[in-house]
Chain A
Amino acid sequence: DSGVTQTPKHLITATGQRVTLRCSPRSGDLSVYWYQQSLDQGLQFLIQYYNGEERAKGNILERFSAQQFPDLHSELNLSSLELGDSALYFCASSVRRDAEAFFGQGTRLTVV
């Protein structure tokens, strides 16, 4: 158990819908990262937060947004879902920017 908790584990939804993925980082970790793993793209960095502030952005679509709350948990919002958004979404956390990152078990999103 990495200590990073993601909910839900599985999610099936229809095209055009909106979903929210939740991540609770390890106790004491200030950095939260979101990644998308799809079959043809590998693990792609989406966005990073540090102590509530956005710090780095990767290949995140405009239909996607995220935030980190004062209690340090984070949510990734995916809207106007398309079939191609089906993927495994991972959250990771670390105590500081150059420290070891630990990954949650992922949320498997299926868009039908």
Chain B
Amino acid sequence: GIQVEQSPPDLILQEGANSTLRCNFSDSVNNLQWFHQNPWGQLINLFYIPSGTKQNGRLSATTVATERYSLLYISSSQTTDSGVYFCAVGIGNFNKFYFGSGTKLNVKP
């Protein structure tokens, strides 16, 4: 099956710092999404981005489908950004979703 690798696995930032999270995938995909899992376990949609670049406030994402990677940028990080960030890719006729193992972000005040 498809491999979805996220890096780094853990990240500690000081509030106000910027960061880049990476997602590599091993095969062509129908779509790609980034999620933030908050400390209460809720999965929050950040971006639906099968290709191209999108921005939403302090967050932006870029997917280069031909090179099989996606990047999530977090600027001016805040303590509320803490949690686990997941990349998920959809493959096949019925878009089976596969998740990466996540990047655990801890933003310190």
Contact = CB atoms under 8 A, between A and B. Distances in A.
B97 A45 contact: yes
Nearest to A55: B94
A56 interface: yes
B86 interface: yes
A95 B46 CA distance: 18
B97 A100 contact: no
A111 interface: no
Interface residues of A, number: 27
Chain A binding site: helix, strand, loop or mixed by DSSP?
Answer: strand
A94 interface: yes
Interface of A: 2, 31, 33, 35, 37, 42-43, 45, 48, 50, 55-56, 58, 88, 90, 92, 94, 97-103, 105-106, 108
Given A98-B30, A101-B88, 5 more contacts: A31-B95, A33-B97, A88-B41, A92-B97, A105-B41
